[in-house]
Amino acid sequence: MFKTIEEHIRKQVAPAALRAEFRQHEFDSMRPFCMLVFCISLLIWLVFDLIVSFLGGQGFTWLSYLFIALLGCLTVVLRFTRRSHHFDVLNLLFISVITLGMRLVIDGIPEPLRPVWLVLGVSTVLYAVSVLPVRRWSFFCAMAITWVMLNPFYHTRIDADELEGAMLISYALFLSSLVIYSYLQMRQAKLHNYYLSKVLLEQAYVDALTDIPNRRSFMAKAERQLRLATPGQFLAMIDIDNFKRVNDRFGHDVGDEVLKRVAVHIKAAVAGHEFARLGGEEFAVLFDGLDQPGAEQRVGALCERVREDLGEPPVTISIGLARVEAGDSLSMALVRADQALYEAKHSGKDQVVMWSAKLAENS
């Protein structure tokens, strides 16, 4: 079954919104790694510059301090970067600075050694860029900047029509093709995995029929909400009146449409609070930040919305409402709301009943 779902997803074209969500998610998860790459790149460049400056006799000039300061500033900026599209630009600035610095340092070593170090520099930078969470345009811009800055034919007296030049061109084409292929394949695999995870999570936590959270999702979120112990918490249990009669008379397809209509009304009426379909024709809502009149007004308005719905067949709902006191467990709150719902169903339906200790005594 997993393979079937995976093959189906791989054939889908991810919409632009999902791609944007994936890029942001990938950057959020890889931001520490990006910081590590920036810091290591700065450290490697510093060590290389020091070696060439002192052993190579170039001297540690003001340009060395300038590049260290620029790379350090860009690394600090990354620490406060939160948007993936900002990182795309920041990464290009970092690559421009570090490749320019590498070029200036390499130009100071003996000419016969320059091509090797330039190609090594290109290989290192391109590999680092290929594993960073950057978009395609940013990746290809970074590749172009790297080859322009670290061009092994510039200031090296190597001709492209000679043996060494032909070998350099062949290696450059091979390296670029390999990096591009690896980058595109990894990006595609990561996108598909993200898409697959999202689909499976939605199937686990979203009710397939009504497209609202299911029981598993509600229990997890409600438990967390109750632990926060925010003031003014109320739990409402909602049941569609005479739903079995609707199924028996009109069929289950019509019954499914009724469930969808009620779910739409719940979603609209209690936006900002936790709600879910618990199963069958039963729904639940967890309110917070309300007083009792406010909670009763919200569920009363929901009853009215469903009652005035012009869809066929017309239906009504009954609601049991219970205050959640500090220290109450979710199971205790569900029992109380269910007791209030039972009273609403058996005392006329299409109404809201608030739980009281008397209901617990009568049940």
Task: Give CA angle at 197 (196, 202), nearest 5°.
Answer: 100
**Sequence letter at residue 314:** P
Q: Edge-to-edge strands of the sheet including 274-279? A: 274-279, 282-287, 234-240, 317-323, 352-354
Hey, what long-range contacts does 244-248 have (CB within 8 A, 24 or more apart)?
A: 246/313, 246/315
Distance CA 343, CA 346 (A): 5
Residue 163: how many other CB atoms lie within 10 Å: 9
**Sequence letter at residue 76:** V
Helix (H) or strand (E) holding 103: helix 84-106
Distance CA 220, CA 76 (A): 38
Q: Which residue has tokens 């959020």?
A: 28
CB under 8 Å to 17, separation ≥6 — which residues? none
| Whether residue 281 lies in the annotated active site | yes
List the structure tokens of 293: 């009149």
Q: Are 189 and 131 in contact (CB under 8 A)?
A: no
Distances (CA, A) of 101 to 95, 121, 176, 263: 10, 11, 22, 61
251: left (phi over 0), alpha (psi -120 to 50) or beta: left
Task: Name beta bridge partners: 285.
Answer: 236, 275
Q: In 3D, which of 263, 285, 262 has the Cα closest to residue 272?
A: 285
Given 281, 282, 296, 325, which residue is catalytic? 281
> Which 8-state DSSP code applies to residue 15?
P
- Catalytic residues, which ones? 281
